[in-house]
Structure 1
Amino acid sequence: MKELKKFKMNMKFYRERKGWSQEQLADKINVSRPVITRLETGEQEPALSYLLLLSKTFSVSIDHLIGRDQVTDDLLYEVYGDYGNEHSFSQIIDYLIKQPKMSTGLQQLLYAKPRERKLIEDILITVIEKSTKRLE
C-alpha cells in the first residue's frame, strides 16, 4: 500500500477517532474544509506543512501518519510470528483497525451459526473478487 493511500486512511481514522467532522479538523489546523476532503480522498497530496500540523493535532509522528511506522509491524511480527507474508498481514490488520464498521461486522460474523457464516463468507469473497477484477 503506497504512503498516500495509508495517509488518507490514517487521516480519516484519526479524525473520526477524535470525533471531529471535516469542518472541525479544518478549523483546528486553520484550513478550509475542502482541503480536508481533498487530503482524505487523495485528490491532494499533503504538503509538509499539513503533515506537521496533522501530526501535532493527532499527537502521532509523521511516519505513523503516512504509514511508515515500523513499531506497528514489529509488534505484529512479535505477536503473530512469521507467516511468510507478514507485510500483507500487517496491512490487513491496519485496515481493520481503521475501519471500525468492517471490524465490528467481522466480529459479529464469528458468532454466526456455521452455515450462515459460510454463506456470508462466500458472498463477501465473491463481491471482493468481482470488485478487484473490475479494477484490473
Structure 2
Amino acid sequence: MKLEEKLQILRKKNGYSQEQLADKLGTARQTISKWENGLAIPELNGLILLSELYGIPIDRLVKDDDRCNVRLCDHSDRNISEMISFLICAKKNTYAANKNEDVSSRMKSHDFSYCDQGYKYLDSYLGGEKFFGSEVVWHQDDPIWGMNYTGRITGEHFNSDFLKEALLNVPYEIPYRGPEIFAKGDYHYHCRVEGEFIWYQGYEEIFYQEEKIYECCFHGGMIE
C-alpha cells in the first residue's frame, strides 16, 4: 500500500476532513491534498505529528510491506464518517425526539433504540433528577462505539424540553450530546469536549438566566 493511500485511510478512519486534519497539524488543506494524491511527501516533522495523532509508529506509515500494513488494512472498513452520520440520525430519532422507546434492558431502565443499514443504537439510562446511562453502537452485531454519561438536575427551573431541543441540534463535529452553545429565552446550554471520536470526554450544563440548573459528564470512544 502506498503512503498516499494510507494517509487517506487513516484520515477517514479517524473522522477528519482534510480541513480538520490540516488544523490539527498546523498546515494548509492544500498540503494534505498533495500528500493524499502523491504530489508531495510529508517531511519528518509532519510524519511525527501524524504518528502521534493516529497512535501508530512511523514505520507503518512509510514502509510499503504487508507486515506493516496488515492491521491498517484489517480495520480500514470502519468508516467513522458513516458511523457519525448514523449516530446523529439515531440521536435525533430517540430520546431527544421522544421516539423509539424500547423495552427495558435492565430493571427500571429507560431504553431507546434505532436501527439502519446494519447499524444499531441503544441508549439506556437509570434515574431521573440524578441519572446514569450509556449509549452503544453496533455494526453487523459487533459493538464498535460507546459512551457513558451521568448527570443531575441542580435547579428548580430545569426544563427537559429545552434539553431535548439542544440534543436535537447535535453537530457532526462533536456528535456526543448537544452543540457547544444553544440558547432559547432564559435558557442557555453549554457543551465542551476534549479528544476525538475514538477517545473523548466532555461536560454539558444548562443555565436558567445566571443560575446553573443542570450538569452532565460523559466519556467514551471506539470499541475493538
TM-score by length of 1: 0.48
**More relative contact order in 1 or in 2 (CA 8 Å, sep 6+)?**
1
- More strand by percentage: 2
Higher-Rg member (1/2): 2
TM-score by length of 2: 0.30
